Amino acid sequence: MRRQLILKVLLGSAFMVVLLVDQQQNSSIPSMAPWPSSQKTPTEDPLSLSSRKFEWWVQTPHPLDLRYPYPYPFLINHPDKCEGPRGAPFLLMLVMTRPQDVVVRQAIRQTWGNETLVPGVVICRLFVLGLPQPLFAQELQTLLEEEDREYGDLLQVGFLDTYRNLTLKVLTGLEWMAQYCHTAHYVLKVDTDVFLNPSFLVQQVLQPNRPLQPNFITGHIYRNPVPLRTQGHKWYMPPELYSQNKYPAYCGGPGYVMSSSLALRILTVAKRLKAIYLEDVFVGLCLKQLGLKPTPAPPNTFLMFRKKYDLCAFRRLVLVHHFQPQELLQIWPDFLTANTTC
Ligand SMILES: *[C@@H]1O[C@H](CO)[C@@H](O)[C@H](O)[C@H]1NC(C)=O
Ligand SMILES: *[C@@H]1O[C@H](CO)[C@@H](O)[C@H](O)[C@H]1NC(C)=O
């Protein structure tokens, strides 16, 4: 535990350095944009990586732009994950996590990520992560492969793991579902900094005995959201990437759940729309394109703000944002106590 923590701190500070260097590099990208568009891309070896990169930058020079659709590879994969002896999963959990979040993943496995928590319901959990920052890539990659040998629940996708690439992560996770797990009934996109109550989600919101709802998506719904135009804000949206002054209604990123048939339709339209880095907003844009709206969840069941732990309150909700792994481990034994009547 202690060694892991020290490693985490070391990695953390190294990533800061990498981030700073990255930003400096990024700031030089716009100056590359004004290449005359009439200039031809190099013709020799047209399939080489460098010439494709060249085309990509000429076409989409904005540093927040995402390359999608694109055939990102699955570097750590479990093609048979959904074909286990327990049968097709009712719920596929795609947990968005960073390569260095070893401790966080461990806490989630021991708490809400437990696949056998809801009796009689098949849940399948995968942690989706990208490529580690270059500086520690090799060491971290070795650790990740070791972790995966032990738990068999990592899905590593072939692009840099950054906050700005989260949309790619979610879409690639859904592509994995389309390719290897289309028999799942529902798919949950969830972040790691949450408390989740899978029993309530399955029994009260999704209801296994109810017929499947093909166009279903729910979570905390933001209505009439507006793009943030203050430069430097975490969720800043440059007008050149999204010019309208409203976003369509969308489900908040910490956690939302949809039927897998809707996930497939979202993927289809996602390939035709311009992807933006705010993944929850982008899913909303896809819904709008499909002429659909999120379905309201039972009131106060997806909380986007922190709420102090209370057994009886937490039994009647799905998700609470802003929970750290240590807190999860701390409250979990109490949360599982079956002999309290609320
Ligand atoms: C998952 O839950 C089951 C059933 O409650 C329990 O037996 C098992 O120990 C849990 N697994 C982990 C890793 O906590
Ligand atoms: C997203 O990943 C690509 C591919 O690894 C990387 O080149 C790019 O810098 C990342 N984009 C952002 C905005 O972080």
Mutating to test ligand 1, I would choose from 114, 115, 118, 329 the residue with most ligand atoms within 8 A of its C-beta, which is 114
The predicted model gives 52-72 an average pLDDT of 73
| Residue 229 lies in domain | 2-341
> What is the pLDDT at residue 61?
59
Measured from the CB, is residue 114 less than 6 Å from ligand 1?
yes
Measured from the CB, is residue 329 less than 6 Å from ligand 1?
no
- Residue 20 scores a pLDDT above 50: no
The predicted model gives 1-6 an average pLDDT of 44
Query: Atom 12 of ligand 1 has which residue's CA nearest to it?
Result: 110
pLDDT in tens, 93-121: 999 999 999 999 999 999 999 999 999 99
If one counts every other C-beta atom within 10 angstroms of the C-beta of residue 210, the result is 7
H helical segments located in 181-276: 198-200, 260-270
Query: Atom 8 of ligand 2 has which residue's CA nearest to it?
Result: 160
Phi, then psi, of 94 in degrees rounded to 5:
-105, 105
Residue 31 carries which DSSP code? G
**Cα gap 70→91, rounded to integer Å:** 26
Residue type, 125: R
CB-based pocket (< 6 A), ligand 2: 64, 159-160, 162, 164-165
> What is the pLDDT at residue 216?
98
- Residue 317 scores a pLDDT above 70: yes
Kindly identify the ligand whose nearest atom is closest to the C-alpha of 116.
1
Pick the closest to residue 137 from 248, 15, 36 (CA basis).
15
CATH number (domain holding residue 95): 3.90.550
- Cα-based torsion angle of the residue sequence 31, 36, 37, 39 in order, rounded to the nearest 10 degrees: -120
- Residue 264 scores a pLDDT above 50: yes
> What is the pLDDT at residue 19?
38
Phi, then psi, of 121 in degrees rounded to 5:
-125, 125
If one counts every other C-beta atom within 10 angstroms of the C-beta of residue 119, the result is 6
- Residue 337 scores a pLDDT above 70: yes
> What is the pLDDT at residue 266?
98
Here the tokens at position 316 are 């009647």
Pick the closest to residue 180 from 257, 108, 124 (CA basis).
124
Kindly identify the ligand whose nearest atom is closest to the C-alpha of 157.
2
The rounded percent of the chain whose pLDDT value lies above 70 is 82
Query: For residues 91 and 181, is the Cβ–Cβ distance under 8 A?
Result: no
Who contacts 288 (Cβ-Cβ below 8 Å, separation ≥6)? 248
Provide the β-strand partners of residue 218: 257
Task: Please give the number of the atom of ligand 1 that sits closest to the Cα of 336.
Answer: 5
Query: Atom 13 of ligand 1 has which residue's CA nearest to it?
Result: 110
pLDDT in tens, 232-250: 999 999 999 999 999 999 9
Kindly identify the ligand whose nearest atom is closest to the C-alpha of 151.
1
Residue for token digits 């013709």?
Answer: 43
- Residue 15 scores a pLDDT above 50: no
Tally of residues, the chain? 342
pLDDT in tens, 215-237: 999 999 999 999 999 999 999 99
Cis before 69 (ω within 30): yes
Helix (H) or strand (E) holding 123: strand 123-131
- Residue 163 scores a pLDDT above 50: yes
> What is the pLDDT at residue 270?
98
Mean pLDDT rounded to a whole number for the chain: 87
205-210 contacts, C-beta under 8 A, 24 or more apart = 205/257, 205/297, 205/298, 205/301, 205/318, 206/90, 206/91, 206/257, 208/90, 208/120, 208/121
The rounded percent of the chain whose pLDDT value lies above 90 is 78
The predicted model gives 298-327 an average pLDDT of 97
Higher pLDDT, 322 or 61: 322
Q: How many domains does the chain have?
A: 1
pLDDT in tens, 265-298: 999 999 999 999 999 999 999 999 999 999 999 9
- Residue 136 scores a pLDDT above 90: no
Measured from the CB, is residue 106 less than 6 Å from ligand 1?
no
Pick the closest to residue 194 from 295, 305, 73 (CA basis).
305
Measured from the CB, is residue 117 less than 6 Å from ligand 1?
yes
> What is the pLDDT at residue 56?
52
The predicted model gives 298-312 an average pLDDT of 97
